[in-house]
Every structure is written in structure tokens, then in C-alpha cells.
Structure 1
Amino acid sequence: MASQLRQQCLWEHVLPPSAPGTPLAGETTAEVCVIGAGITGLCAAIHLLEQGRTVVVIDANRVGHGGSGRNVGLVNAGTWIKPDDVEATLGPVQGARLNSVLGQAPAEVFAMIERHGIDCQARNEGTLHMAHNPAGVADLRARHAQWSRRGADVELLSGGRCEEYCGTDKVAAALLDRRAGTLNPMAYARGLAAVVERLGGRLFQQSAVTGLQREGFGWRAHTAAGSVLADKVVISTGAYTEGEWSVVRGNYFRGYYYQVASRPLEGAAAEGVLPHGQGSWDTRAVLSSIRRDSEGRLLLGSLGRVDNKPAWFIKAWADRIQRHYFPALGKVEWDMHWTGMLDFTPDHLMRLYEPAAGLVAVTGYNGRGNTTGTVVGRALAEFLLTDRAEDLPIPFSANKPVSVPGLRSAFYETGFSLYHAGQCLRVIL
């Protein structure tokens, strides 16, 4: 009998059930209020607590509910775009700084995990960016050359070495980035939350912010059942930002990313898939991500959403990708699927904001939240401590809302759905 395909996030499924979150009730005070218990907000809170500040973290849902706990789990270096393009957009000085900070970001993630003893199945084995056609090979050659000039530990694999690392002969070349790696993102987020509480921070969940206003020299964040009065505020809600109170709303457009996980796989064919432990993604415009988890499951993902699509569609897409890259696996039983949201910006670069004194915000990770969130959380905390904007990885942006963000989101989602339908019908791959 075929397995039933469940709508459930694997990363949460493999962890012990978390304790019910405590909602905020009544009034409380802190030196800093962090809105959003994802990777950015939790890392900011940890750094502030380590410097002796009092911190309250509030979240509309549960720790890891958003993109922080639902992503692919890649610990990537750099941005979505090439490092030369970053410097062309930001200028040589600021662009070089951002490339340097995010190039070293995986090391900061792994150091955070080790320093605090976070059990999140982290592996620092690198990642593989896989070329699906000749244009993809050219793209990887450019990325390899640009990162190599900056001293990064990257290698362009081809021939038998590429097939060995990827576990498929359908990839002409692959960029191995040894700086990078993988983890269970939900376990990472929960581990960070545990550190916050261990350091004396107060964490309130199921407490959506309904308003944020100036009060005296500070800020008051309101929820349905309480409020937090703080000297300073960090807004780190990303694509899950809700409510007109937020200064970042409208400065990005939402996208979606879905994943499908198999049951645990065994045998020589399964062990031949990404045998050295890297996570990977290909060079398609509508990419496919591929990785295995610590229990041998095969995880496939792509841009778009499947929480609104039937099981046959999801299975047909996953079968198509799996049979193209790894036909030796035979028939794979798909077990669960889940969809998360991303905050995109037109130039694929994040934005930092300081709309008023003592209020900072970030948006636009463009799918690179595990590493970017870790370093930006620390950077925002350091800014609140020192007021040194020049030390930020990227300058503060002016408030420049994205035009018709809802239409952009709908346009992209329609395109992704049509592309995936073409894959299911074997019209395209």
C-alpha cells in the first residue's frame, strides 16, 4: 500500500515535542525588546544578554515557526548573487565588506553551535551548487573564479570527481564550497531559544504584536494580552511580518519554498546520493534543492508552495526530480511535505533599517537565513550597544517600499506553479 503523504515539517517531526510557549500577559519592561523568535532575533538576544542587557523576546507563534525552522537547512556562504554583482550594486567598499562578512558566516554559525552545545545535526562538510546545463557550468565557473580571488575554499568539480560527490551523472559540474554545511534548522532555532532563556532572557510565544509606539524615551510593543516597554527594539519577523505597525511591511515581497521528504532510505543506491554529506541545489532558475538528513531521508525542494496542491501533484514532481538525478533508487516512498515563506527583494540583497532612534529592523534574506540571520542578529545587537553604524555588514537603507508586493508574489507563484506542472508532465525539467 502506498504511503500517505502528510503535510508536516520534517525538522519538527524528528525532534521531541516542545513545551507550550508562554504568552505575554500584563506589562513588563526590558532594555531591549526583540520582536520575532527566529534565528536573527534569538542571536541578537543572546549577544545582548551576554553583554549584560535585559531582553524580552516575543513571537506571534512558536520558536522556529517561520522560515527559521522550515528552511532547507543549508549553512551557505555569501549571498544569492555572485560576489562581483554584490560589489557592483553596493559599491566596492560596502560590497566587499558584505562579501567578507557573509563569506565568513558559516564559521560563525558553527562556532555558535559549538560554543553553546546546540544539538542540531550540524555538519561542516560543505555544499554543492550543481550545474544542470552548459549555461549552469558557465555560471559556476564565474562563481568559482570570483570567490577564489577572495580566498574562499571553493573547488569546481567535474568529470568523475563531480559524479562521485553528487552521486549522479546528470550534473556536468558542481561548485564545492567547503566553508558551508548543513543542519536541522528547527533544532538550531530551538537551541538558540534555550540559550536565551539560560542566559536570563524572557521569551513569550503565541503573542502577536498589535502595535508599536513611542513612549517617553522608549518604545511600547502591544500584544493582545500585554505589552513590553523597552529602551530599544529589534524587529526580525521577516516574511512572516503581519500588521500595519511594522516599518518593514511592504519593503519586500513574499515568496514560498516547499520541500518533500522521503521515508528513511537504506542500501547502496541510497548511500550513493551525496555520499560525502553535502547539501545541494542546482542552477535552474526555478531551482531544485537536494539533501539527505541524519536518518537517511531524501529531501527535495523548490521555489513555490505545495500546501495548496493535491498529493498526486507533489508526488509526481518529487518522482520526476528523483528519477532524473537518482534513478538507481527505484521507487521512493514520499512521506511528508511542508511550505515556508521567504522575504525577497528586487536586487536579492537584504535591507537594514533604523527608522527612528532605538528601533532597528531587517528584511530580505532571499533564502539565506541560517547564516545571514546569525551574523545580522549579532550585528544589530552590537549597533544597539555601540551606535556604530559603520560596523554593520551593510549600511542602513532608506524606506523604499517594493512596488505592488502582492502582485509580485502572485506573479512569481504562478510562474513557479506552471514550471512545476511542466516538470510533472515531462514537458520540461
Structure 2
Amino acid sequence: MTTGARPNRKGDLIHWQRTAGPAPVCDTLTTKIAADVVVVGGGLTGTRTALGLAESGARVVLLEGQKIGFGASGRSGGQCNPIWRATPDELGERLGKALATRLIETTLGSADALFDDINQYGITCDHAQNGWVQAAHCASAQRSLERLGTAWNAAGATIRFQDKDETVRSSGSPAYDFSLFHPKGGHVQPLSLTRGFAHAAIEHGATLYENSPVLSMKNTDGIWTVTTASGTVSAPQVILTTNAYSDDLWPKLRQTFFPLVSVSLATAPLSVEQQKTVLPGGVTIADTRRAIYYSRYDRDNRLIFGCVGSTDNSADFGGIARLKEGLGIVFPQLHGIGIEATWAGRIAVTPEMMPHLHEPAPGVLAGLGFSGRGIAMTSVMARTLIKKALGAADDTLPFAVTPVQSLPLHWASRKLIPLAAPAMTLRDKIDTMLNRS
């Protein structure tokens, strides 16, 4: 079968654009206006933040440089994986007991909170909360998952340990000998979810502008003037939610994370018989590889499959080849299936693999760095930004408020990022050979 996918240098055919709900109607900013809060960035974090602030009665203006959901929010795998890679004890050592306790409690409820939002605001985003299979690709990874599951269950999670037979039954994949099953996990159509938050924000009084990239920010007597090519917004509070697509608008902000890339494909729709052997029950799956494999269904029973890529063009440095190889490893029963689309999107990865909440100046907040946990944790960050903007004390928040600090040798690391995916893939293969479970 032919693939049907024709990659190009502009980001390929992004599958979610074909199946998303209607986009909000947003003008380009062409005037000078005033607001209580300016949100910069129209992804999941930005739209959910705008919605919450508008509900509180604030005059909210959101500025998006492209279209709502253009960045990671319209390009991700859409999986709700509601747990960190660190154990609660490790979080306590890193963050301190009080902060870790708030973060752990918030994390345990993060998936339910997201799906409650979807239901509360009537968002149509093909959502399903059927669980997440977190699979170990080798014996050392199995031991790590066993420690992770045990620790989070002790903190209140309800994670189930699955041996090889159980893993095969729940996922349909013969590639793994052990997995954790997270019953709170699930998936969404990420662009539809972003657009749904945007529609709800507008309904609650927020004003959203597209094709309005912010060029500068200037503070005068406690009021920030945010300038685009054809207009300005003046407000005492600015919230930056540009995540992996951050530029130099705020000095050093984009040097606080590594802009890695996720590449994905959409297969042709699976037959009824194929669906019985691939992710039966509509679960999602992600494994423990450095160049992680992850998969879920869309609403039309296409399989969405992804891994780590190199650039915004999914074909670069063998990205599509890695996708097809991974699909064959995880689901060999789909050999020869047609591929309808491939695409890529950036993800902001921090050294701690945890989000950052910054307050770089009075009246400026930034939340970013979701490190592959964006579907669940963008909403957590949005609620945190809302609380902080409305005056909540730092010691009530689930994230620490930290300064903006450039990572050492960030410029060199960025140049090497295109080589990271092939290097991680090689290390994963070595791990598998040396640590067979």
C-alpha cells in the first residue's frame, strides 16, 4: 500500500486538522486596547488560562501569533498520561515536603480534572478515559516501573501491575514483558480540545486574536504595553504560555528548556478484526524508551503512532523510518497497513522533566516545559497561573515559582538536538539487547 503522506518543509500534513472541531473566529489585532490580563500564546495552557480568568470576571485578551492550537497543542499525540517520571519520595527530596505534597495531590487528580473540564464546558474532542498502558522495553526499565508504580500507589494512585500476558491482553503488543496500567489515563483530540477551550473562553467574555505575534513588551508605571505589528494591548498582568514555541520576547525564557520534537503518523482506519488485536478497549500506550513509542486510536479507528523526532519536518534524520520501524516492533500484526499522514511538533523538555512556573518581573508570569505530559499538565499549569494571577500565595500552588535561568551551554545543545533522536534510538536498542526482560 502507498503511504498517502507527502512530507514538506512546512510541517507535513497534520492529521488533527482534518478531524478537529470548528475553529473559533478570531480577528487580527489592529487597534490599541486595554485589559486586565494579556495571555500570549493560544495553545492548551493559554486558552485554558484565558477561560479561567474570564470566568473570574477579568478582562482578558489572548494573542496568538499563528492560529489557535498551531503549536504543540495541535500536534501532540493527545494522550493524557497523568503521572510524573519521578516518585513521590524523589519529588519530596527535590522540592521539599510541603510543595511536593501539593504537587502529588494535584497530580493524582489531574486526569479527572481534565475530563471534568471537558464535560463541564461541553467540549467535543473525541475524549476517552479508558486507561494508559506504560510498558517496559527492557528488564532495567521494568525494575524502574515497578518502583514507580509501588511509590505512587503508596501515595494514593490505583496503578495495576501487568505481566507479559496481561500486557499483551490490554495492549495487543507482543513487544513488552511488563507494564503498568493507569486507569485514570486516556486521550483527546488535542486540537479540538484547544479550540474547545478557546470557544468557552470567548463565551465567558475573553477576546482572542490570531495572526498577531507579539513583538515587544514594555512596562510603564506598572502597566505592560504588549505590541504586535498592528496594535497594542495595555494591562497590569501578562501571562506567557508559548511553551516550546517561545522566542526571544522575554530574555532567556527559551533557554530554560530543550525544544525536542515529537513525530507522529496516522494509519488507515483499522478493520474490526485488527481493532481486536491492537489496543483493545481503546487504551493508550507509551513505553520507557528514551526515543519513546506511543500510540492511541482516533475517532475513526486510525492508529496514531509517535516517537521522538529531529526537526519540524518529520522526514528529517530518518524520522519517518523510525516511526515505521517502531510501528512494526510494537504492532507487527499491522505489517503493510497504509499511512495517511505524518507530522511533527515541538515539545519543551526541562532538565527535571517537570514544568516551570516563572515570575520574571512584577506583573509577568510564564508557565512552560511540560516534557511530554502536556495534555494533563497544561490544565494543571493553567489553573495555577489563574490562581497566581488572582493573588494566591506561592505556598498554595502545586509548582514552585522560580527565576528564569538559562541552561548551561544551551546554544550548543540546541545545535545537537537533531542528532538526539537517532542517538536515543541507538541507546534504546543497546538497552534492549543487554537487558532483555
Which band: TM-score by shorter chain?
over 0.9
Percent identity of equivalent pairs: 26
Which residue number corresponds to residue 344 of structure 1? 349
Secondary structure at the counterpart of residue 276 of structure 1: helix
Give the distance between the partners of 2:38 and 2:186, measured in 1 at CA. Answer: 31
Contact 1:80 1:366 (8 Å CA) reproduced? no
2:138 to 133, 137, 151: 133
**Structure 1 residue 159, shift from structure 2 partner:** 3.6
1:36 to 29, 35, 41: 41
Secondary structure at the counterpart of residue 351 of structure 2: coil
**Structure 1 residue 3, shift from structure 2 partner:** 3.3
Which residue number corresponds to residue 224 of structure 1? 229
Give the distance between the partners of 1:419 and 1:145, measured in 2 at CA. Answer: 27
Contact 1:253 1:406 (8 Å CA) reproduced? no
**Structure 1 residue 313, shift from structure 2 partner:** 4.4
Give the distance between the partners of 1:319 and 1:95, measured in 2 at CA. Answer: 39
Is it true that 1:93 corresponds to 2:108 in the alignment? no
Secondary structure at the counterpart of residue 255 of structure 2: coil
2:339 to 334, 340, 343: 334
Which residue number corresponds to residue 395 of structure 1? 400
Which residue number corresponds to residue 144 of structure 1? 149
Give matches, 1:65-80, under 5 Å.
65-80=70-85
**Structure 1 residue 239, shift from structure 2 partner:** 0.9
Change (3 A) 1:345 1:317: closer
Secondary structure at the counterpart of residue 36 of structure 2: strand
Which residue number corresponds to residue 286 of structure 1? 291
Contact 2:214 2:249 (8 Å CA) reproduced? no
Which residue number corresponds to residue 9 of structure 2? none
Q: Deviations over 1:155-210 (max 9, x none)?
A: 01114222110102221111111122111110000000000111111000111110
Q: Deviations over 1:79-118 (max 9, x none)?
A: 2333332222112222222122122111111111000000
Secondary structure at the counterpart of residue 382 of structure 2: helix
Which residue number corresponds to residue 369 of structure 1? 374
1:184 to 183, 189, 195: 189
Contact 2:224 2:237 (8 Å CA) reproduced? yes
Is it true that 1:5 corresponds to 2:10 in the alignment? no
Secondary structure at the counterpart of residue 332 of structure 1: coil
Contact 2:314 2:343 (8 Å CA) reproduced? no
Change (3 A) 1:103 1:422: closer
Give the distance between the partners of 1:422 and 1:79, measured in 2 at CA. Answer: 22
Unaligned segments of structure 2, at least 5 residues: 7-11
Give the distance between the partners of 2:317 and 2:369, measured in 1 at CA. Answer: 33
Give matches, 1:388-427, under 5 Å.
388-420=393-425
**Structure 1 residue 405, shift from structure 2 partner:** 2.1
Secondary structure at the counterpart of residue 362 of structure 1: strand
Give the distance between the partners of 1:294 and 1:342, measured in 2 at CA. Answer: 24
**Structure 1 residue 301, shift from structure 2 partner:** 0.8
**Structure 1 residue 50, shift from structure 2 partner:** 1.0
Give the distance between the partners of 2:274 and 2:163, measured in 1 at CA. Answer: 21
Give matches, 1:42-61, under 5 Å.
42-61=47-66
Is it true that 1:251 corresponds to 2:256 in the alignment? yes
Q: Which amino acid aligns with 1:3?
A: T
1:121 to 106, 123, 126: 126
RMSD after superposition: 2.3
Which residue number corresponds to residue 325 of structure 1? 330
Give the distance between the partners of 2:197 and 2:386, measured in 1 at CA. Answer: 15
Change (3 A) 1:244 1:305: same
Is it true that 1:305 corresponds to 2:310 in the alignment? yes
Contact 1:264 1:296 (8 Å CA) reproduced? yes
Is it true that 1:154 corresponds to 2:159 in the alignment? yes
Q: Deviations over 1:229-278 (max 9, x none)?
A: 01211111111112344562322221111111111111313331110111
Q: Which amino acid aligns with 1:295?
A: D
Q: Which amino acid aligns with 1:208?
A: P
Secondary structure at the counterpart of residue 341 of structure 1: strand
Give the distance between the partners of 1:98 and 1:165, measured in 2 at CA. Answer: 29
- Using structure 2 for the length normalisation, give the TM-score: 0.92
Unaligned segments of structure 1, at least 5 residues: none
Give the distance between the partners of 1:306 and 1:255, measured in 2 at CA. Answer: 8
Give the distance between the partners of 1:320 and 1:36, measured in 2 at CA. Answer: 35
Q: Deviations over 1:378-408 (max 9, x none)?
A: 1111111124222211221123211222322
Change (3 A) 1:420 1:142: closer
Q: Which amino acid aligns with 1:2?
A: T
Contact 1:59 1:208 (8 Å CA) reproduced? yes
- After TM superposition, the structure 1 stretch with the greater mean CA deviation from structure 2, 160-169 or 139-148, is 160-169
Change (3 A) 1:388 1:16: closer
- Using structure 1 for the length normalisation, give the TM-score: 0.93
Aligned residues: 427
Give the distance between the partners of 2:100 and 2:190, measured in 1 at CA. Answer: 28
Change (3 A) 1:309 1:285: closer
Give the distance between the partners of 1:247 and 1:229, measured in 2 at CA. Answer: 23
**Structure 1 residue 305, shift from structure 2 partner:** 3.0
